[in-house]
Chains A and B, each alone.
Chain A
């Protein structure tokens, strides 16, 4: 079992650009949550996808959007990147939205210059 995988591992973008991050959930999991972790801070919830729909959203602007595919993998898109978007982006998966035990991926380190 590969666990939760994320790609890419690291990414450098310029302010104003757009970025897409990818996540493949643990085998058998159908729910994917995305978190942003700024340096020295705890992660913050961005949104959660279940059955290809955004089920819940944290306090993030519309520049942050996502998608879930029929195979349960997910993408996080960020438009009009700001310097403050530099962070570690974590994906976590769980088995149905009723299961609170989440398995985390290794994260994607995004640097905006």
Chain B
């Protein structure tokens, strides 16, 4: 069973700061998701990675398969980025949308 660890658990920053959230997992994966969850529960998928780096607006996600580590970066952070960011991995050699294993999430607060 894959163990997913996120750090930090809680992060408070000022508007405009560069934010980094880290995710480590214990066994090989076929894909890694970064998800955003706002108060009330709605979850939005931000990225799905299996290698390299992806960028969408102010969000950048990277993954190092050899080190079993991924990072989510937010540039020029804004109060509307305040949310819980969750890392989730799919184990296995590929094929089949197996259930994801989730980290506990990082609670991010961006203060004006």
Give chain A's interface residues, CB within 8 Å of chain B.
31, 33, 35, 37, 40-48, 55-56, 58, 88, 90, 92, 94, 96-104, 106-107, 109
Contacts and interface: CB of A to CB of B under 8 A. Distances in A.
A109 B4 CA distance: 24
A100 B40 contact: no
Interface residues of B, number: 26
A113 B3 CA distance: 31
A13 B4 CA distance: 32
Nearest to A59: B1
A107 B42 contact: yes
Given A97-B96, A100-B48, A42 B102 contact: yes
Interface string B19-33: 000000000001101
Contacts of B86: 42-43
Interface in B66-89: 86, 88
Interface in B51-104: 86, 88, 90, 95-104
Interface of B: 4, 30-31, 33, 35, 40-45, 48, 86, 88, 90, 95-105
Main secondary structure on A side of the interface with B: strand
Given A33-B99, A58-B99, A100 B31 contact: yes
Contact of A101 (B40, B41, B45, B103): B45
Contact of A106 (B40, B88, B105): B40
| Closest 8 pairs between A and B when the two form their complex, measured CB to CB | A45-B99, A42-B102, A104-B43, A107-B41, A42-B104, A106-B42, A100-B31, A43-B102
